[in-house]
Structure 1
Amino acid sequence: MSLPLAGSPSMTASAADRPSNRLAGETSPYLLQHALNPVDWYPWGPEAFDRARAENKPIFLSVGYSACHWCHVMEHESFENADTAALMNEHFINVKVDREERPDVDQIYMAAVQAMTDHGGWPMSVFLTPDLKPFYCGTYFPPVDGRGMPGFPRVLYSVHRAWAERRDDILISAGDLTDRIRLMGKIPAASGALESVLLDQAARGLARSFDTIHGGFGSAPKFPHPMDLKVLLRQHARTREAHPLQIVRHTLDKMARGGIYDQLLGGFARYSTDERWLAPHFEKMLYDNALLSSVYLEAHQVTGDAEYARVARETMDYILERMTGPEGEIYSTEDADSEGEEGKFYVWSLAEVNQILGPERAKEFAAVYDVTESGNWEHQNILNLPMSVDQAATRLGRDERELQADLDRDRARLLEARDRRVPPGKDTKVLTSWNGLMLAALAEGSRILKDERYLDAATKAAAFLLDRMRTAEGRLLHAYKDGRARFNGYLDDYSNLIDGLTRLYEVSGEPRWIEAALELTAVMIDEFHDAEAGGFFYTGRSHEVLIARQKDFQDNATPSGNAMVATALLRLGALTGRESLRTLGRSTLEAVQAYLDRAPMAMGQSLVALDFELASPREFAVIAGSDPAEFRRVMEAIYAPFLPHKVVAPALAEKASALAETLPLLADRPAQDDRTTTYICERFTCHAPVVGVEGVKAALA
């Protein structure tokens, strides 16, 4: 059989001339992007699996997501090609999965890809037996042989021949690989106690991998590592060592000045393709911006540096202005590509800058933001700051404030021009887990930055999740799009949202949020907890049965599910006085102790939780008086310093007694003289109550 040369225009029929496939009824933007492919795609589900078993054909599973550049490339090269599609349709049952909708499926088969190839990524390409066991794995395949890789048609034909001629061998190897995947969910044994030496060890490891020139950890491609930066901030707070803070500051400074940060609008791209944060992979993910907002907020608390507050504010403003829906729901991603080119929306030529700003302003702006005739990236320019604005002012002989004001006006004009370009695609599906992360950052940002807009946004997002993304039985759903909430919630949906709701209560005093956090905690424990071996499964008892039921212990781009469980339970235990929650949170850390010892750089969020567990929480009970402005200022004073071990129980005076049943911290704590009154307790001892803003500031000092 001769292999077709995929990708030529003569072999790719116009999408407008094709009937849609089964993906046309889905809500995922990623799946809908493939709805006019000539491939006979199925969504993940029993219809595809029943057909595979009936026809005894292997399944080709393709996993990706809407903002994935190479997913788009493989679609155009292979899945839109009529000859390649015919080969797929003849010999395979083809299943397309959005990894953001089905992280459980992605997690299992990514483990297979990594076990078989020692690397992973998207698009993920996995061949399965009809009973869903993987036997051949890869990621992107080119349309023809080249660069040391087989072309996708050759892969398809080879797998088909192997299935026809060596099926028994395939079934044996598929069973072996599935057994390996199931073993990955087992917890390795650990000895010793949970002690601060684990935090010290992690900080030393991060220091060893720190890039002293460009900031961050390791070399290209370079990812932000927000959880690890939080570990270092806590190490500095706990030990007063200077070096952990220096690592954080250097990294945050370099990222904020780099091309990974959108210098016109705010918000961070996924990662940098180089070691100096210049050339990002341009997709913007909600979770990155949630986690990095939180890190910059904490760095501002530690240092008082206004630049960190600015970056956090601009990032959260980007989310509010460009990524928030009409009911307060927060969208998932923006693509890297526009008009078929990665980064086209974001880059500039010197001629464009001259035309928009005029020669005089363009010359100064170009000098500050690294815009040249030849370009700094593929003959175009990614805006970045090789030096800080104060350094640029010195070099240009300008007053720093005046220069900054001029640059702000320049940026606004360029942003206005950029907004007239064809924008990248936006994935408007709503994911509970990612919204939970963002709601936590917005809630605390409202107090740290003294901006009620963020509290309003967090309130609306929380209400949307609770009202639109729960079943009648009180279980969470994972994804929402086009008026439909779908898919059982996963562990990180519960743990992230519980943590976000807890923090939203702590800044607002609204009882609904803490009550919902406790309700969801009960469901989470019932659905996910492994009472025999410890820790929490990624999927609940009510979930469909897959080939493995795994546990999510190590951080990736987002905190692991078990790390966020420990974070949420320890915080709730301290806030509510429920020792059972604290005990379960600690046992979750004990379940991952071996990883804390052996692989601390994959355990940032668990180490954050451990730091909280080993400290004595400082408890603030805040009873509002009659003046709402005074209550707000008191809360802002409590959130001004970096106090990573605090819990806050606020209440309006008339609600304090009712809330005291849930939060014993509020019991018998009246507001004095109808003024906002704060009771501060630490190490099982409560100090005399303080009244108003100055009383809190004095107590914290």
Structure 2
Amino acid sequence: MASSSRTEKTSTESRFTGEARNRLAQERSPYLLQHATNPVDWYPWGEEAFQKARSEDKLIFLSIGYSTCHWCHVMERESFENKNIASIMNEYFVNVKVDREERPDVDRIYMTFVQAVSGSGGWPMSVFLTPDLKPVAGGTYFPPEDNYGRPGFKSVLLNTAKQWMEQRQKLSATGTKITELLRQTTVFDVGVANQLLAGTTPPGQEVWELCFSQVLDNYEPEFGGFSQAPKFPQGAVLSFLTHLASRERPQSEMGTEARQMLLHTLDKMAAGGINDHIFQGFARYSTDREWHVPHFEKMLYDQAQLSVVYTNAYLLTHNEKYAKTARGILEYVMRDLSHPDGGFYSAEDADSYPTKNSVEKREGAFCVWTHEEVATLIGDRKLEANPKKLLVDLFCAYYTVRPEGNVPPEKDHHREFRNQNVLAVFRPAAKICKEFGLKDEATLDNELAVARKILYDRRLDRPRPHLDNKIITSWNGMMISGFAKAGSALGDDDFTRRAIDAANFVRRYLLLESGKLLRSCYTDLPAGAGIVQIESPIEGFLDDYVCLVRGLLDLYECTLNSDWIEWAERLQMKQDELFWDHGHAGYFSTISGDTNTLFRLKEDHDGAEPCGNSIAAGNLLRLGTILDSVDMMDKAKKLLTSFSGRLTRVPLALPEMTSALMLYNNAPTQVVVTGDPSDSETMALVNIARRSLLVPGLILMVTSGNPDSFLCRRNQSVRKMKKPEGNYQAAFVCRGRTCSLPVTTPADLAALLKL
């Protein structure tokens, strides 16, 4: 399908038309540029702002968000564009804006504070800091005026300024105390970590059994998912259930229940409005438990995680509907989130202009439909399979399109969805087929495809949402995994090539000569395709290394090109050098020596993205197995042990790490194929292994039929595996330190893997 053009009235361009700009106008982050013409005297995070706060003895007001965040836009319109509120901010505070995607280190420190003092977090995040960066008060979104029992932003500003003027010492002491408490929360299981040399080992089966129990307690059985409302996809939880379902199949009740929760959730998500049925791709989250009305921003990291989960669901079930959803996600990313040189953009906004002549954006305007518009576009076309019925009636029945709109008033806080419909499927396809005289679901989908194409073409004429064209290393690593896994599982060479292009993009633009990674790079503004080199780029964080290493491991299994393994090893070594905690094991999220952050965090929570330590644990086990590295396996053991307190108490906080713990305790299953990938017999064995990639921890290696190949040189066990008599290609299946006799046929390999 053709790509839809983006409106010229982007959030950056429309504001730079003779208006005064603050210091953010010199930044590259799309989020910071959105605020460059606010009357607020914004500063970027950095020494200039901190020095001003110290010299003028003012509190810092820190606002953190991201460019596609709906409520960030709301607070900007209500407060940051309000000259009265801006004057209060400018008089009493030094105001600092941070893009959470650009500076996750800053975001995590102060999000920890906000969650501790308020019991919840989110964006926009609003925090008041002393001049030495210690937090004293904060929250998330504030309305401009006092309302519904909540203090308005103006009141919060004035009250906080008064406290600073009248009780400065007390407020400073409070900030120091809070900072010390926050610092202590980053040092966990020290006693256990100090016992590592005494033979302490990671916990075992009780952890994943407890994690499963905690997932089950949070499971919402009617529409799936793991909360009531709002509902988030929770990719790490879905991945854990996938691992558990494949590990336990079909022998245990736990495996059966894990499979049911996983597939029911995926089915309901794919049917809901959180899935864009016309343009594909998933929105960030749903405001209701039915997955119906989302906040419409689309984040790259969600597309990456969900493409992997749906691909794995296909491998688990061999049901084509999961492959279809995975393809839809990847086609959306290829079309709308892709740089011409191979990288992936960060996100699309929730808000957009309803028409080309509109002056004010609305949430979801690009995605919603009136019944009248649908009826006019589809017209009086009859069904091909049943000319007695109209296509528009079928479409409206299937996607719940109603004349009065299908968004409940309580979900329309700003009255933006009156008479509008968010396409979602709530009726079984079989009932729709019976009602419209269609023989099967394939016929139904063929009819609906005609209508979807009509609406797709109409959306091409709508103003597009703002694109955050920042290219983030960690999210690109995650997306490489998505394309590589789909390329292998679905046999799609386009997906494989897309993963390769993205890896080469990262190597070209985001890798320094020192072997270090950058956090992000930027395109020409406002919407050009070229990459801009900036003088002081932000260096990569732990997330950037672990996500790229995992992407390269997945890319190796997809392409069988050992160059990706070699690069993954170099990155792993650099990661160990920069982030490993030599005192208590595990990885810090940031490098040492940054004077503009309060302390180094060591994350212990899998949120919208799995935390760096969770991914690192799995990487160490996979790469350590491939390279037969005792050091990597030992690091994996120490990392898992250092998190044992968290894992044994609340494993639901670390489902990705719990999956790595299962892998550690049960040892990866290795399939080693001796032969050249260009040979059809070799690839016949490889393809059997790829079909079974859901065997927990299965690692695929191919020796290329060469004793001097990279894998043979680095792994002595692999080097000893030779073809049997007759020079057939052969496959060995190894579990732990025990390997099977070689097999030479796909049927025999499938039997060994119990497919």
Query: For this structure pair, what is the TM-score category when the shorter chain's length is used for normalisation?
Result: over 0.9
Give unpaired runs (5+ residues) of structure 2: 1-13, 193-199, 354-360, 381-389, 408-416, 524-531
Q: Secondary structure at the match of 1:690?
A: coil
Distance 1:40 1:33 in 2: 14
Please list, as runs of the form range in 1=range in 2, the aligned pairs for 1:61-140 lying within 5 A after superposition: 61-140=62-141
Choose the corresponding residue for 1:358, options 379, 382, 400. 379
CA deviation digits over 1:350-393, x for unaligned, max 9? 11111111232111111111111111113311111113434421
Q: Is the 8 A contact 1:657 1:668 kept in 2?
A: no
Q: Which amino acid aligns with 1:210?
A: Y
- Give the match for residue 370 of structure 2: 349
Distance in 2 separating the partners of 1:102 and 1:196: 37
From the superposition, tell whether residues 358 and 630 of structure 1 become closer, same or farther in structure 2 (CA, over 3 Å).
farther
The 5-angstrom pairing of residues 516-665 of structure 1 reads 516-541=567-592, 543-625=594-676, 627=678, 631-641=682-692, 642-654=694-706, 657-665=709-717
Q: Residue deviations 1:159-211, cap 9 Å, x none?
A: 22222221111111111111111111011456985111211111122112211
CA distance in 2, matches of 1:570, 1:312: 27
- Pairing 1:208-219 to 2, within 5 Å after superposition: 208-219=217-228
User: Which deviates more, 104-113 or 592-601?
Assistant: 592-601
Q: What is the TM-score of this pair, normalised by structure 2?
A: 0.88
Answer yes or no: is the 8 Å Cα contact 1:447–1:635 preserved in 2. no
Give the conservation status (yes or no) of the 8 Å contact 1:566–1:585: yes
Counterpart of 2:556 in structure 1 is 505
Q: Secondary structure at the match of 2:538?
A: strand
Residues in 1 aligned to 2:741 and 2:311: alpha-carbon distance in whole angstroms:
30
2:617 is matched by which residue type in structure 1? A
Other-structure match for 1:313: 327
Distance 1:14 1:490, change over 3 A: closer
Query: Which residue is 1:7 aligned to?
Result: none
| Conserved 8 A contact 1:627-1:675 | no
2:432 corresponds in structure 1 to: 392
Of residues 445, 449, 472 in structure 1, which corresponds to 2:486? 445
- Contact 2:670/2:733 (<8 A) preserved: yes
Question: Does 1:205 find its partner at 2:214?
Answer: yes
Contact 2:206 / 2:648 at 8 angstroms: preserved in 1? no
Structure 1 pair 433–14 and aligned structure 2 pair: CA distance change class (3 A): closer
Q: Which amino acid aligns with 2:230?
A: P
Q: How far, CA to CA, are the matches of 2:562 and 2:235 in structure 1?
A: 30
Q: Could you give the per-residue CA deviations for residues 83-120 of structure 1, whole angstroms, max 9, x where no partner exists?
A: 22222222211110000000000001111112222221
Aligned match for 2:731, one of 666, 673, 678: 678
Structure with larger RCO (C-alpha < 8 A, sep 6+): 2
Aligned to 2:477: 436
**Equivalent position SS for 2:215:** helix
AA paired with 1:660?
A: C
Q: 1:372 aligns with which of 380, 399, 402?
A: 402
Partner of residue 509 from structure 2, selected from 460, 468, 477? 468
Code of the aligned partner of 2:637: R
Unaligned runs of 5+ in 1: 1-12
**Cα shift at 1:237:** 2.8
* Per-residue Cα deviation, 1:380-410 (whole angstroms, up to 9, x for no partner): 1111111343442133321222222111222
Cα distance between partner residues in 1 of 2:579 and 2:706: 37
Tell me, yes or no, if the aligned pair for 1:284 and 1:334 is still in contact at 8 Å.
Answer: yes
Instruction: State the shift of 1:14 in Å.
Output: 8.5
- 1:143 paired with 2:127, answer no
In the TM superposition, what is the alpha-carbon distance from 1:332 to its structure 2 partner?
Answer: 0.8
Is contact 1:506-1:649 (8 Å) kept?
yes
Question: How far apart, CA to CA, are the structure 2 residues paired with 1:66 and 1:628?
Answer: 48
Q: Which residue of structure 1 aligns with residue 522 of structure 2?
A: 481
Tell me how far 1:578 sits from its aligned partner. 0.6
Question: How far apart are 1:633 and its partner, in Å?
Answer: 4.5
Relative to structure 1, the CA distance from residue 452 to residue 270 in structure 2 (aligned partners, 3 Å threshold; closer, same or farther) is: same
Question: Structure 1 residues 343-352 or 182-191, which shifts more?
Answer: 182-191
Instruction: Name the amino acid aligned to 2:109.
Output: I
- Distance in 2 of aligned mates of 1:412 and 1:662: 52
State the 1:627 CA deviation: 3.7
- Report the AA paired with residue 148 of structure 1: G
Shift of 1:692: 5.9
Question: Relative to 1, partners in 2 of residues 1:677 and 1:324: Cα closer, same or farther, differing over 3 Å?
Answer: farther
TM-superposed deviation, 1:507: 2.0
In the alignment, which residue of structure 2 is the partner of 1:409? 450
After superposition, the Cα gap between the structure-2 partners of 1:643 and 1:308, relative to the gap in structure 1 and judged at 3 Å, is same
Distance 2:462 2:575 in 1: 45
What TM-score, normalized by structure 1, do the two folds share? 0.94
Mapped contact 2:703–2:709 kept (Cα < 8 A): no
Larger deviation, residues 186-195 vs 589-598 = 186-195
Asked if structure 2 preserves the Cα contact closer than 8 Å seen for 1:257 and 1:388, the reply is no
Shift of 1:154: 2.3
SS of alignment partner, residue 549 of structure 1: coil
Return closer, same or farther for 1:638/1:169 CA change in 2, 3 Å cut-off.
Answer: same
* SS in structure 1 at match of 2:262: helix
Judged with a 3 Å threshold, the aligned counterparts in structure 2 of structure 1 residues 626 and 43 are, in CA distance, closer, same or farther, namely closer
Determine which of 289, 313, 317 is the counterpart of 1:275. Answer: 289
Equivalent AA in structure 2 for residue 376 of structure 1: N
CA RMSD, 1 decimal: 2.1
Aligned to 1:10: none
Percent of matched pairs sharing the same residue: 39
Letter in 2 for 1:484: Q
CA 1:664–1:282: 2 relative to 1, 3 Å: farther
User: Does residue 195 in structure 1 map to residue 204 in structure 2?
Assistant: yes
Counterpart for residue 348 of structure 2: 334
* Offset, 1:265: 2.5
Higher mean Cα deviation, 301-310 or 183-192? 183-192
> Is 1:236 aligned to 2:245, yes or no?
yes
Confirm or deny that 1:323 pairs with 2:323.
no
Letter in 2 for 1:686: C
Query: Are the structure 2 counterparts of residues 683 and 157 from structure 1 closer, same or farther at C-alpha, using a change threshold of 3 Å?
Result: closer
The correspondence for 2:310, drawn from 289, 296, 321, is 296
In the other structure, the counterpart of 2:358 is: none
CA change 1:36–1:631 in 2 (3 A) is farther
Task: Name the SS of the counterpart of 1:652 in structure 2.
Answer: coil
Equivalent residue number for residue 4 of structure 1: none
